[in-house]
Amino acid sequence: MDGTGKTLNVLMSVTAQYPQEQQAWFKEMSAKFKAETGADIQWETFASANDEMTRIQTSVVSGQGPDVYGLGTTFTPTAYSTGAFVKLGDNEWNQLGGKDKFVPAALGISGPDDGNQIGIPFVSRPFVMAYNTELLAAAGIEKPATTWDEFTEQAKKLTKGDQYGVAVAYKDNFDPWKYIWGMSIQAGNPIIDGSKVRLDDPITKKAYETYFGWVTKDKVVDPSSVGWANPQALAAFAAGKAAYFPMTSPLSIPALDASAVKGKYKYALMPTVPPGETSNPSNGKPAASILSGDNLVVADYSKQKDLAFAFVKMITDKDVQLNYFKVFGQLPANQAAAKELATNEVIAPALESGAKSVATPFSGAWGDVQLSLTNVVVQSIPDLSSGAVSESNLSQRLKDEQAKSQTALDRAKK
């Protein structure tokens, strides 16, 4: 393809843990794309879910913006609902090297069904928890917790002096809502249930109380974590200051292997049994993770669709995907690359988590609901800093965000 004189605009999420490596990867891919097509790439990034939502909405309204978007899988339903992105037919899949090039499970949130898809899998990011093998052994803990109640009890045993049971990032832009959704669906509340949002459900409230309780009541996390983003929580675990680091992925491997805990950590599934239970209720799902990763979508307004698909093909080919895993620890969506990594013992729990992941609702309102789940945490940060989130404050925040989310769902269903 001759793209000489053309520039492709690509929007992707900031990789906060590895900013220098991401800039180096951008330069490498630009050079590779220039050699293959003659075209240049203009890279743009977003740093939060709010920013991600705003960029989608702004571009859709204006009919201009990036040619290619790298979106978190949970934002694919929002992108799909706009009708502003290319639906993938046989021609598009062929341009990418065929649909069977991709891990089948990674296609699980590319669209509402097999015949209506916009999302091209880029990387898979099933969540797990890292644990310090030496600290658990010293505390007499033989194996990682499998229920959230057991997790909290183990964390108490593992907390002493300046060592904490858990490293958590309460101020992260992406992490907090995933805990709440996970605990909720494990207990039988899918958050979106048909035409009703159930954000203010007692099940969801208990999930928040558990999550907030680690810092306010149980004292198993560093009080400073109220102001942490994911890189700070990762750093605490990497320094041996925390025994557990939940809601991580193999993305943390490069950092951990260059840290004081190299050879002293393993991954395990996060607990799949909700707070207050010893097994999943009949309507609960033992979700190990959200179905997580990044999808690539091509804007329908783009005047360079062939060039856009050439770019997407390039970064989803086997060699690029394997290198991306080596640099960033993100699991490949390319099937051949994934098979090559299948024997890696370190990432085996992440592969198991991927198989036991549950997709978030494929609803055009999900982006708004996800932001509401996060907003409850954001609004509670001052309370967490002071040591307690009152029942009345939590209930009011859930009520307010319930109303916003329900409005978004009603609008999406019109």
The per-residue pLDDT for range 164-197, each reduced to its tens digit, is: 999 999 999 889 999 999 999 999 999 999 999 9
Mean pLDDT of 276-295: 95
pTM: 0.84
Same domain, 338 and 209: no
Q: What is the rounded average pLDDT of the residues 315-336?
A: 95
Which one of 341, 358, 375 terminates a domain? 358
pLDDT by residue (tens digit) across 296-320? 999 999 999 999 999 999 999 999 9
How many distinct structural domains can be found in the chain?
Answer: 2
Average pLDDT, the chain: 95
Between CA 54 and CA 78 the distance in angstroms is 11
pLDDT for 146 equals: 98
Angle CA 387–389–394, to nearest 5: 170
Residues 275 and 205 in one domain: yes
Asked whether residue 2 is domain-assigned, the answer is no
Average pLDDT on 10-22 reads 93
Confidence of residue 99 (pLDDT cuts 50, 70, 90): very high
Asked whether 245 and 237 are in contact (CB, 8 A), the reply is yes
pLDDT of residue 343: 87
**Would you say residue 1 lies in a domain?**
no
Looking at the structure, tell me whether residues 198 and 84 fall in a common domain: no
Q: Are residues 112 and 156 in the same domain?
A: no
Per-residue pLDDT of 100-125, as tens digits, reads: 999 988 898 899 999 999 999 999 99
Residues 270 and 296 in one domain: no
Collapse the DSSP code of 170 into the 3-class scheme (helix H, G, I; strand E, B; otherwise coil) and give the result.
Answer: coil
Q: What is the DSSP string of 72-137?
A: EGGGHHHHHHHT-B----HHHHHHHT-GGGB-GGGGGGSSSBTTB--PEEEEE---EEEEEHHHHH
The stretch 78-84 carries a mean pLDDT of 92
Tell whether 231 and 378 lie within a shared domain. Answer: yes
pLDDT at 414 over 80: no
Instruction: Identify whether residues 244 and 371 lie together within a single domain.
Output: yes
Burial of 217 per CB tally in 10 Å (0-12, 13-18, 19+): middle
Residues of the domain holding 24: 7-125+291-358
